[in-house]
Amino acid sequence: MKVAIIGSGIVGLTIAYTLSKENIDITIFEKERDSLSHGTGRNSGVIHSGIYYQPKTLRSTLCIRGSKLMKKFISENNLYINNCGKLLLPKTKKDIETLNLLYERSKEVGVETIKLNSFDEILKIEPNCNPLFNDALFIKETAIADPKEVSNKLIEILKKRGVIIKYDTKVDSISSNNTIIISNNKIHNFDLIINSAGLHADYLANKSNLKTRYTSLPFKGKYWKISFGDKNEIPNRLIYPVPNLDQPFLGVHTVYDKDGNFYLGPSSTPVFGREAYRPFRKFNFLEFCALSYKFILKIIFNENNLRNLAISEFKNLFLSSVMKSSNAYFRHKPVKIELSSKVGIRSQMFDKNSKKLFNDFVVIKQNNIIHILNAISPAWTSSFAMAEFICEKYTIKNRNNNESA
């Protein structure tokens, strides 16, 4: 069996890793010179618990399963991990209702959490935070790893297994009728194609004439780098706001890496290019016009509260607003705050039927092509479980059926 995987981000790599355990001929097509130019290389590295997401959805089940599989892979390969846990701190009284809901949900889905009911309990978990209420939730299973390290180890293993990774090889089109890929004016034939192209997955799906109710609305996330006068003043736990469960974003939170860099972010602002990490870099006029038109219409009609969301998130482009919204995070005042070069773009999908930002992963099988759309957070955490799910449900058990999830 010959399988092509388009995209060598974490989802493509883990699918190849899972498939390569069988006697399968695998080729990965990657338009960049490496596997870390986009979402995977720009990921925060947080291994999420899965309690934010509606139980029994793909995001929930794959995140919970994926967290265990990601930690297992990291442990088996002696990679970096910090089992720091996550502290959810409410900023309003309404947040406490959501906090209680998440606590009940954690028990439903089997994720270990600790409900904190006093300032003393909160400060015992994280002495360097500044809680506004005496309620909080500590999620023990949340951790931080290094996405680049994980990807590089996967690539090393895949090469030993004979998987071919074609870098600097852009896929121009794919055909669902005869399972071919056209790249650099060459035709490549396969038995199965897996479209895991991230920010460009919907573009390739359109090229294969797949008709769906989803349209791309990318959002950019920026981070602020925070420095303290003493390393002992840095929070040891990840600190998050209580999320708005009606939106797919987690809110501005703390994050740090294995080198000791400490960040606050990300913002989630509309962006008019799939790779517009910097102004006018890789500028595509047609894409800019198409995305601008879609965003402007949705903001004018306030579909899925998008106008209010855009206004709210726009404030997070400014340091004063970010610090004001994060006053519960720091017991000690930072000595330096600067805009970081750490920038990512989220491959968010909009559901034209419900007129809402779609809050789950989307996997659609079109003849012998599997399209992975809306691989939003926690796709990195979920990646090994998503690979397992796709290989079992589509590649092996139901290879000849057209299904979607």
Look up the pTM and report it.
Answer: 0.90
Q: What's the pLDDT score for residue 244?
A: 84
Taking the alpha carbons of 275, 279, 284, 286 in that order, is the dihedral positive or negative?
positive
Six token digits for residue 167: 């870098």
- CA 372 to CA 386: how far, in whole Å? 10
- CA 178 to CA 196: how far, in whole Å? 19
358-362: list long-range contacts, CB under 8 Å, 24+ apart.
358/214, 358/248, 359/53, 359/54, 359/57, 359/59, 359/247, 359/248, 360/53, 360/54, 360/57, 360/58, 360/59, 361/58, 361/59, 361/62, 361/386, 361/405, 362/212, 362/214, 362/404, 362/405
Q: Which of 146, 144, 148 is nearest to 34 (CA)?
A: 148
Q: Tell me if 99 sits within 8 A of 251, measured CB to CB.
A: no
Q: What are phi and psi of 67, to 5 degrees?
A: -60, -45
Contacts of 259 (CB under 8 A, 6+ apart): none
Segment-wise mean pLDDT, segments of 10 residues, the chain, 405 residues: 96 97 94 95 95 95 98 98 97 94 96 97 97 96 97 98 97 90 92 95 93 89 90 94 83 89 86 78 69 67 65 67 78 88 88 88 95 94 97 63 42
Q: Which of 327, 386, 322, 341 is nearest to 360 (CA)?
A: 386
- Measured in whole angstroms, the distance separating CA 141 from the mean position of its chain's CA atoms is 18
Q: What's the pLDDT score for residue 400?
A: 38
Inter-helix orientation angle 379-390/10-19, to 10°: 30
- Measured in whole angstroms, the distance separating CA 403 from the mean position of its chain's CA atoms is 24
Q: Which domains does the chain carry?
A: 1-80+147-217+358-405 (3.50.50.60), 86-140+219-346 (3.30.9.10)
Q: Tell me if 374 sits within 8 A of 348, measured CB to CB.
A: yes
In this structure, what DSSP letter does residue 249 have?
-
Q: Tell me if 91 sits within 8 A of 97, measured CB to CB.
A: no
Q: What's the pLDDT score for residue 314?
A: 66
Q: What's the pLDDT score for residue 105?
A: 96
Q: What's the pLDDT score for residue 209?
A: 93
Name the burial class of residue 218, with classes exposed (0-12), middle (13-18) and buried (19+) by CB atoms within 10 angstroms of its CB: buried
Q: What's the pLDDT score for residue 399?
A: 46
Strands 25-29 and 164-166, by their bridges, are parallel
Q: What's the pLDDT score for residue 214?
A: 92
In sequence order, what E strands does 228-335 have? 238-241, 253-256, 262-265, 269-270
- CA 112 to CA 249: how far, in whole Å? 22
